[in-house]
Amino acid sequence: MSAVAAPSVELTVTPSAAVEIKKFLASEDDLPETAGLRVRVVPGGCSGFQYSLIIEEESKQGDFILDQQEVRLFVDMFSAQYLNGITIDHTTNMMGSGFTFENPNATGGCGCGTSFSA
């Protein structure tokens, strides 16, 4: 009888993204030690799905909990299938600054880079 591997999710947070995430977390008042950043996929955008980043005080049942660059991330089971292998970065250019997502699972995207299809 072979053991069935539990599903997992791997995300990469670049050092520049980690700095910005830590700034967000530090700006929140009275966050408990259990707090982290929820990374998820929600329906919407011009390509079908879009990324969502939300600070939460604690994980929820069934979440994957990852530590990247000293940042705690929460990923729900639904989002994990679309987020496995992504890299979260933070860039600044002429258009402004913000988080970017390099997603090897995406089959298409939109010109603005905020949504994708899978």
Distance of alpha carbon 111 from alpha carbon 67, whole angstroms:
31
Q: Is there a domain that residue 63 lies in?
A: yes
| 80 three-state secondary structure | helix
What local confidence, expressed as pLDDT, does residue 114 receive? Answer: 58
- Is residue 78 within 8 A of residue 72, CB to CB? The reply is no
Residue type, 113: G
Give the structural domain span for 52: 12-113
Query: According to the model, what pLDDT value does residue 43 have?
Result: 84
97: in domain: yes
What is the pTM (predicted TM-score) of this model? Answer: 0.82
Residue 100 lies in a domain: yes
Mind listing the pLDDT tens digit for each residue in 36-48? 999 999 887 676 7
Q: What is the pLDDT of residues 20-34, one digit of tens each?
A: 999 989 998 889 999
d(CA 66, CA 28): 20
Task: Please give the Cα distance from 38 to 43 (Å, whole number).
Answer: 16
Counting the structural domains of the chain, the total is: 1
The per-residue pLDDT for range 81-111, each reduced to its tens digit, is: 889 999 999 998 887 888 988 888 776 665 5
The answer to whether 47 and 103 have CB atoms below 8 angstroms apart is no
Predicted pLDDT of residue 110: 58
Residue 14 phi, psi (nearest 5): -70, 160
